[in-house]
Amino acid sequence: MSDKAWGGRFARDTDRGLAAFARSLPLDRRLWPYDLALSAAHVRMLAHRGILSQADADALLTGLVDLERAFAAGEVELPEEGEDIHLAIESLLFARIGEVAGRLHTGRSRNDQVATDLHLYLRDAAHRQSAALTDLLGALWERSRQALEQGVVVPGYTHTQRAQPVLLAHLWLAHFDALERDRGRLADLVRRANRSPLGAAALAGSPHPLDAVLTARLLGFDGPYDNSLDAVADRDFLVEYLSFAALCGVHLSRMADEAILWTTAEFGFAALEDDAAFGSSLMPQKKNPEAFEHVRARAGRLTGVLAGFLATLKGLPLAYNSDLQESHHALYTAADTLDGMLAAVRRLLEALVVQPERMAQAASDPLMLATDAADLLVRRGVPFRTAHRQVGELVAEAAARGVGLGELAADVVAAHAPALTPADLARLTAQGAVAARATHGGTAPARVAEALERARARLAPPPLPPPPPRAADVAHTPLPLEEVSR
Ligand code: ARG
């Protein structure tokens, strides 16, 4: 007979190659803190409902809390051939407390167990990443404040072609807003996902009088899932997290791409401090923004994880299927990748030294004031489309002569735009163009100062459900819970 936990109906053990192929322990071993907390909550509930004797419950809780201590101290060796973290913990418990360990799995299944563990892991990751995003938002906000104080003007681009001058402070706040939406998405999805699958058992619920509300509350969930099939089959929470991670990654990648452009000799808008740059093994002069390139590249990895996991889910009937074991790969890859990107961008932002003179020089390109010339004509009664054409002709004249708009001769200006004089054109400046764009959300200093104030109010992170408890906390939470919980 097989000596597996589920080996009773098997005459022979699983083929070693297939067992290795199916094993999730190398991935899901990181779930130990959540699986122990979940197990402690389950034991408290079983005893509370009289399904377990208090003596057995105490023995199990002592074992679980001791195992938690041993894991944290790095003393635990997981069985090399273990199938997954759930069975591994059960066998470790047998080794510590003996046969009473066999009562732990009453009324639960690895199906509701793994789903609950993943929810708890996600909540932990959300706390960490919301804090990392908050830190990054604070840094972007401070950069914006400084740039506004210094009045730094930079060319704004469309199609990577110089378009109109903008305040550098405005640009930093644009990145701030995108990342702040990401942080909000993370909080939204975690709040929506804060339901406990525990109690669904394999798929149908349990004949034991379980209290799923109690286990949910012990673990900091808002309550249990309403449907046992959905509880074990649902991975929406994970898809939402992967979507958040992919989009946040895309935003970080766009920032990185901008920084890469800025550090080229062609732009020269920023320099990287030495300790944030990399060299070439062949070309002695090179100073490469490689960490920014890795940020850009890893957004591709995050996008791929999302697409891959959706593809895994699309063919699955209810309820649990082993395909769902891909959850581990998807979740940990996304969480680890995003952790690394957030930390790297935070560091890179510090190391990115902007060059305000180069920015100002580029922003003073007179061709970027063409829209302002057209708008001046509009204020003098010329229809915009006519004004656009007239100024376009002036731009062509200036380009042909290799001069700025303000340097065109009076007869040339009069021939194309009779309502304009060379003096009008010479008076246009980048600072003036910036100040003129005073509509809501525009780049005028007064508007950016207001936006900065509004952003200050959004620096603090949105509330999240509580971080997952430790098994030791769960073991000692006074019951009944109604009297102590919210
Ligand atoms: N290791 C599995 C997973 O990660 C746990 C659930 C397994 N259930 C089962 N009947 N094989 O999804």
End-of-domain residue from the set 109, 138, 166: 109
Same domain, 288 and 229: yes
Residue 232 lies in a domain: yes
Rounded to whole angstroms, how far apart are CA atoms 297 and 462? 29
pLDDT band at 484 (very low <50, low <70, confident <90, very high): very low
* Whole-number Å distance between alpha carbons of 468 and 106: 23
pLDDT tens track for 67-125 = 999 999 999 999 989 999 999 999 999 999 999 999 999 999 999 999 999 999 999 99
φ, ψ of residue 158 to 5 degrees: the values are -130, 145
Residues noted as catalytic: 159, 280
Whether residue 440 lies inside any domain: the answer is no
To test ligand 1's pocket by mutation, which of 114, 238, 309 has the most ligand atoms within 8 angstroms of CB? Answer: 114
For the CA of 325, the nearest atom of ligand 1: 12
Contacting residues for 347 by C-beta, under 8 A, at least 6 apart: 276, 291
Q: Mean pLDDT across the stretch 381-407?
A: 96
Ligand 1 atom 3: the closest Cα is on which residue? 325
From the list 63, 62, 41, the residue with the least C-alpha distance to 107 is 41
Indicate if 142 and 199 belong to the same structural domain: yes
Burial of 112 (0-12, 13-18, 19+ CB in 10 A): buried
Residue 299 CA to ligand 1 centre (angstroms): 29
Give the ligand 1 atom nearest the CA of 83: 1
Same domain, 346 and 381: no
Domain identity same for 63 and 130: no
- What percent of the residues of the chain are helix, what percent strand, and what percent coil, each to the nearest 5? 65, 5, 30
Task: Report whether pLDDT(483) > 60.
Answer: no
pLDDT in tens, 268-312: 999 999 999 999 999 999 999 999 999 999 999 999 999 999 999
Span from the CA of 323 to the centroid of ligand 1 (angstroms): 9
pLDDT score of 486 more than 50: no
Report how far residue 395's alpha carbon sits from residue 369's, in angstroms, rounded to the nearest whole number: 10
Q: Specify the ligand 1 atom closest to the Cα of 111.
A: 6
Q: Which of 14, 84, 119, 235 to mutate to test the pocket of ligand 1 (most atoms within 8 A of CB)?
A: 84
How far is Cα 453 from Cα 240, in angstroms, rounded to an integer?
Answer: 31
Query: CA nearest 272: which of 250, 295, 249?
Result: 295
Tell me, what CATH number does 78's domain have? Answer: 1.10.275.10
pTM of the model as a whole: 0.96
* Residue 157 phi, psi (nearest 5): -120, 145
> 149: Cβ–Cβ under 8 A, 6 or more apart, which residues?
none
Question: What whole-number percentage of the chain has pLDDT above 90?
Answer: 98
Contact between 312 and 326 (Cβ < 8 Å): yes
Rg (CA), the chain: 31
- Domain holding 332, by residue range, is 110-363
Output the CA 114–ligand 1 centroid distance in Å. Answer: 7
Same domain, 71 and 175: no
Does some domain include residue 472?
Answer: no
Contact 468, 116 (CB under 8 A): no
With a cut of 50, say whether residue 29 has pLDDT above it. yes
Residue 249 has pLDDT above 70, yes or no: yes
Kindly state whether residue 320 falls inside one of the protein's structural domains: yes
What's 345-388 look like in SS3?
HHHHHHHEEECHHHHHHHHCCHHHHHHHHHHHHHHCCCCHHHHH
Q: What is the CATH number of the domain that holds 420?
A: 1.10.40.30
CA 419 to chain centre: 53
- Which positions ≥6 away from 380 have C-beta within 8 Å? 419
For residue 118, tell me if it sits in a domain: yes
2 falls in which pLDDT band (50, 70, 90)? confident
Instruction: Please state, as a whole number, how many other Cβ atoms lie within 10 Å of the Cβ of residue 274.
Output: 9
Q: How confident is the model at residue 480 (pLDDT cuts 50, 70, 90)?
A: confident
> How many residues belong to the chain?
486
Provide residues with CB under 6 Å of ligand 1.
24, 28, 84, 110-111, 114, 322, 324-325, 328
Q: How far is the CA of 110 from the centre of ligand 1 (A)?
A: 6
Is residue 27 domain-shared with residue 54, that is, in the same domain?
Answer: yes
Per-residue pLDDT band at 482 (split at 50, 70, 90): low
Task: Establish if 447 belongs to a structural domain.
Answer: no
What per-residue confidence (pLDDT) applies to 1? Answer: 63
pLDDT band (50, 70, 90) for residue 350: very high
Domain boundary (332, 363, 394) is at 363
Same domain, residue pair 309 and 185: yes
Of all protein residues, whose CA lies closest to atom 12 belonging to ligand 1?
Answer: 325
Report helix, strand or coil for 82: coil
| Residue 130, both tokens | 């919301």
Q: Among 6, 14, 18, 24, which is best to mutate for testing ligand 1, by the most ligand atoms less than 8 A from CB?
A: 24
Q: What is the mean pLDDT of residues 453-481?
A: 96
CA of 25 to the centre of ligand 1 (A): 10
Tens of pLDDT, residue by residue over 151-196, are 999 999 999 999 999 999 999 999 999 999 999 999 999 999 999 9
- Looking at 344, 363, 382, the residue that finishes a domain is 363
Which protein residue has the closest C-alpha to ligand 1 atom 2? Answer: 325
Distance 321 CA to ligand 1 centre (A): 8
Residue (of 48, 55, 449) closest to 215 by Cα position = 48
Q: How remote is the CA of residue 33 from the centroid of ligand 1, in Å?
A: 17
114 CA: nearest ligand 1 atom: 5
- Domain presence at residue 201: yes
In this structure, are 143 and 81 located in the same domain? no
The CATH number given to whatever domain includes residue 173 is 1.20.200.10
On whether both 33 and 165 belong to a single domain, the answer is no
**How do residues 205-221 score in pLDDT, each as one tens digit?**
999 999 999 999 999 99
Indicate whether 456 belongs to any domain: no
Using pLDDT thresholds of 50, 70 and 90, give the confidence band for residue 485.
Answer: very low
Q: Do residue 25 and residue 71 come from a single domain?
A: yes
Q: Which residues contact 121 (CB under 8 A, 6 or more apart)?
A: 30, 31, 34, 331, 335, 468
Q: Are residues 160 and 277 in the same domain?
A: yes
Average pLDDT, the chain: 97
* Residue located nearest, by CA, to atom 11 of ligand 1: 322
Is residue 149 scored above 50 in pLDDT? Answer: yes
* Mutation pick for ligand 1 pocket among 322, 326, 332 (CB with most ligand atoms within 8 Å): 322
Q: What is the pLDDT of residues 411-439, one digit of tens each?
A: 999 999 999 999 999 999 999 999 999 99
What pLDDT is stored for residue 152 in this prediction? Answer: 98
Residue 24 CA, closest ligand 1 atom number? 1
Question: Looking at the structure, do residues 352 and 376 belong to the same domain, yes or no?
Answer: no
Count of domains forming the chain: 3
What value does the mean pLDDT take over residues 467-483? 89
